[in-house]
Copies of this chain bind each other. A is one copy, B any other.
Amino acid sequence: MEQPYVLGIDIGGQTAKSGVVNARGEVLAQTILVSNNHEDAASFVGALAGTLKKLISDAGVSGQVRGIGVGAPNGNFYTGEIKDAPNLAWAHEKNIPFAKMLSEAMDGLPVALTNDANAAAVGEMTYGAAKGLKDFIMITLGTGVGSGIVIDGKVVYGHDGFAGELGHTCAVRGGRTCNCGKTGCLEAYCSAIGVARTAKEWLEMHPEESSLLRLRENLTSKDVYEAAKAGDNMAKEIFDFTGNLLGRSFADFIAFSAPEAIVLFGGLARAREFLYEPILKSMNENLLPLWRDKVKLLFSSLSESDAAILGASALAWDF
């Protein structure tokens, strides 16, 4: 019997990564399309469909693809639309019926769409650290802070398809301004950009303190990570601070859905050696006794290059 396959697509501001995935969660072939040089959605979808058809043909799986799963910023699972996505150059229209457009361009193959963090949660549950878990919260620590919430084995989409915006819950009352226009959001502190902001603020606030971070221009969270690895005190304290904010927010999230685990994913989660202890400590300090020392803190086990594609592709097994 012929094996079934699915396609997974991870759409970001700069590129769209696509892959052919088998039922064991192996990415058999993948390709990257530059996505920021398209004028409108129709042009982008046309180019993407061309790429996908070539990918299917090159991988020798024509006729065996069951469907397509797409993770995209502000992708709505219910409507199949991408809504108000400022980071996508081709997404000028307020609501783009992306799933429908791509399905039509792919000769009727079914297309499921969700946001990138939900896709990551599905991927982690299907192939990764959350395999076998029915209740967990996925937190993506990347340029922003995203989240995908799984309750009783299902992603929570909410009334309107936009549930799980935990990066925009309040971490610090009256704190920093966030990209979203509010103040004190978790994302403003605990994203890659938030960590870099903390470093810049601390360097200014403590001019007397020597730090490797002073040697860098245009500080990034990667610089902070490398300085911490080199033993820099301020860099390590920045991770303590970041972990403390994450942990106390996680405690509130746990009070909501009583998950078995929090699963961390994304670039900043690579700083596990500096984040794990401070997160766990502050999470447990802020939990009700009934959950203290019982909720696991896991880190994604998916290889970074495959994770986004796998997560998106996992959606398509439901067709």
A interface residues, Cβ below 8 angstroms from B: 83-84, 134-135, 149, 151-152, 154, 156-166, 168-170, 172-173, 180-182, 248, 251-253, 255-260, 286, 288-291
What are the residues of chain B within 8 A of A255 when measuring CB–CB? Answer: 164-166, 168-169
Shortest Cβ gap from A134 to chain B (Å): 7
Residue from B135, B169, B259, B289 within 8 A of A252 (CB atoms): B169
- Decide: A170 and B248 in contact? CB cutoff 8 A: yes
What are the residues of chain B within 8 A of A164 when measuring CB–CB? Answer: 255-256, 258
Residue from B160, B169, B173, B251 within 8 A of A258 (CB atoms): B160
Shortest Cβ gap from A115 to chain B (Å): 12
Shortest Cβ gap from A132 to chain B (Å): 12
What are the residues of chain B within 8 A of A172 when measuring CB–CB? Answer: 173
- Decide: A156 and B151 in contact? CB cutoff 8 A: yes
What are the residues of chain B within 8 A of A170 when measuring CB–CB? Answer: 248, 251-252, 286
Q: How far is the CA of A290 from the CA of B94 in the complex (A)?
A: 12
- Decide: B180 and A159 in contact? CB cutoff 8 A: no
In the complex formed, the residue of B with least CB distance to A162 is B258
Residue from B84, B151, B181, B289 within 8 A of A151 (CB atoms): B151
- Decide: B256 and A256 in contact? CB cutoff 8 A: yes
- Decide: A256 and B259 in contact? CB cutoff 8 A: no
Q: How far is the CA of A256 from the CA of B152 in the complex (A)?
A: 15
Q: How far is the CA of A160 from the CA of B259 in the complex (A)?
A: 8
Shortest Cβ gap from A160 to chain B (Å): 5
Q: How far is the CA of A67 from the CA of B24 in the complex (A)?
A: 45
What are the residues of chain B within 8 A of A290 when measuring CB–CB? Answer: 83-84, 160, 162
- Decide: A257 and B158 in contact? CB cutoff 8 A: yes
Q: How far is the CA of A273 from the CA of B156 in the complex (A)?
A: 33
What are the residues of chain B within 8 A of A151 when measuring CB–CB? Answer: 151, 156, 158
What are the residues of chain B within 8 A of A154 when measuring CB–CB? Answer: 152
A-B contact pairs, 20 of them (CB 8 A): A84-B290, A134-B159, A151-B151, A151-B156, A158-B257, A158-B259, A159-B259, A160-B258, A160-B291, A161-B258, A166-B256, A168-B288, A169-B255, A170-B248, A170-B251, A170-B252, A180-B288, A182-B288, A253-B256, A256-B257
Given contacts A158-B257, A162-B291, A163-B258, 5 further A-B pairs with CB under 8 A are A84-B290, A158-B259, A164-B255, A170-B248, A182-B288
| CB-CB nearest 6 A-B residue pairs | A158-B258, A163-B258, A135-B159, A169-B252, A165-B255, A159-B260
Q: How far is the CA of A161 from the CA of B291 in the complex (A)?
A: 12
What are the residues of chain B within 8 A of A168 when measuring CB–CB? Answer: 255, 288
- Decide: B134 and A289 in contact? CB cutoff 8 A: no
In the complex formed, the residue of B with least CB distance to A137 is B256
Shortest Cβ gap from A297 to chain B (Å): 14
Shortest Cβ gap from A283 to chain B (Å): 12
- Decide: B256 and A159 in contact? CB cutoff 8 A: no
What are the residues of chain B within 8 A of A291 when measuring CB–CB? Answer: 160, 162
Q: How far is the CA of A256 from the CA of B259 in the complex (A)?
A: 13
